[in-house]
Amino acid sequence: MKTLVCIKQVPGTAQVEIDPQTGTLKRAGVPAKMNPFDLYAIEAALRIRAAAGPDSTVTVLSMGPPQCEKVVREAFAMGADSGAILTDRAFGGADVLMTSFTLSQGVGKLGPFDLIVCGKQTTDGDTAQVGPELAEWLGIPHVACVKAVDAVGADSISVTADLPDREVSQRVPYPCLITVEKGIAEPRLPSYKLFKSTAARKVEYIGLADLADSDPKHYGLNGSPTQVKRIFPPPSGAGRTMLEGDAAAQAAALADILEERNFLR
């Protein structure tokens, strides 16, 4: 059984900030790390590989600058068998549609796969939408928000999706795509031994010319229907009340306001 996991490198700390006064960036080039949700996707895939038996493999794919080889190597240290990076200047400025299209082209180059596993969302985009769009480009069914893999069969996989009001167990035939929740399985730590033993393993670099559709107009900014018109710091609230004095005075003033606004009934 062949499984692919899509992974992404994200800023290590959550913040890229603009100074509201000057409109300039407070910080740039923060250290990067693997998207935390992807660790669960890799763990789920490794357990599926174990359940599926011999000749099963886990491949990881990341789209981004060459620096994201680091997260591919981290996946190797967790136990992934092979990995590739989609990188090309033409991919820059990709929105959800173009990111998922580019990934689908990468899947075409590396695949076919029986199963594709994505983390539920990334911590820098927070959209949770690339996985379902990728499934559409590939024309395969998908199940989002998977909290448990119940059975790994020869032709299908059984999973439980976690919805706000109910849990739905369902069986999906291969090929298919799932996006997984945190908590599906505790991710193993990268192994130093594996990290060393895979240090010489080649990471495949895939550029525009390697893809079935190599028209640059179909990628990146040019192919993206959404355009960022501008970015700006969040509006700051004027007209707020600051309560002065020591803690007792501040607390008393706040209690007065809360009473006035009927919060103390």
Q: Is 214 in the site for other proteins (CB under 8 A)?
A: no
Q: Rule CB under 8 A: which of 224-263 touch other proteins?
A: 224-237, 240-243, 246-248, 250-252, 254-255, 257-259, 261, 263
* Residues pairing with 38 in the sheet: none
Q: Is 153 in the site for other proteins (CB under 8 A)?
A: no
Decide if residue 152 touches other proteins (CB under 8 A): no
> Which is nearer to other proteins, 200 or 228 (by Cβ)?
228
The answer to whether residue 21 forms part of the interface with other proteins (CB under 8 A) is no
Choices 40-48, 109-117, 196-204, 219-227 (CB under 8 A): range interacting with other proteins: 219-227
d(CA 28, CA 196): 31
* Residue 210 interacting with other proteins (CB under 8 A): no
d(CA 72, CA 114) in angstroms, rounded, equals: 20
Query: Considering only residues 99-118, where is the footprint of other proteins by CB under 8 A?
Result: 100-101
Stretch (H or E) spanning 46: helix 36-52
Compare residues 77 and 90 and give the one whose CB is closer to other proteins.
90
Residues 6+ apart with CB under 8 A from 183: 40, 147
Distance CA 149, CA 159 (A): 4
Residue 199 in contact with other proteins, rule: CB under 8 A: no
CA nearest 176: which of 143, 212, 216?
143
- Per the CB < 8 A criterion, the answer to whether 180 and 118 are in contact is yes
Q: Is 93 in the site for other proteins (CB under 8 A)?
A: yes
Q: Does 144 bind other proteins (CB under 8 A)?
A: yes
From residue 157 to residue 196, the character string flagging contacts with other proteins as x (rule: CB under 8 A) and all else as - is -x--xxxxxxxxxxxxx--x-----xx-------------
Angle between helices 96-110 and 130-138 (to 10 degrees): 50
- Distance separating the N- and C-terminal Cα atoms of the chain: 61
Q: Which residue, 173 or 196, is less far from other proteins as judged by CB?
A: 173
| Kind plus residue range of the DSSP H or E element containing 247 | helix 247-260
Q: At closest approach, how far in Å is the CB of 197 from other proteins? A: 29
DSSP state of 97: H
Backbone torsions φ then ψ of 121, nearest 5 degrees:
-165, 175
Binding to other proteins by residue 56, rule CB under 8 A? no
Shortest Å, Cβ 176 to other proteins: 8
Say how many residues touch other proteins, by CB under 8 A: 100
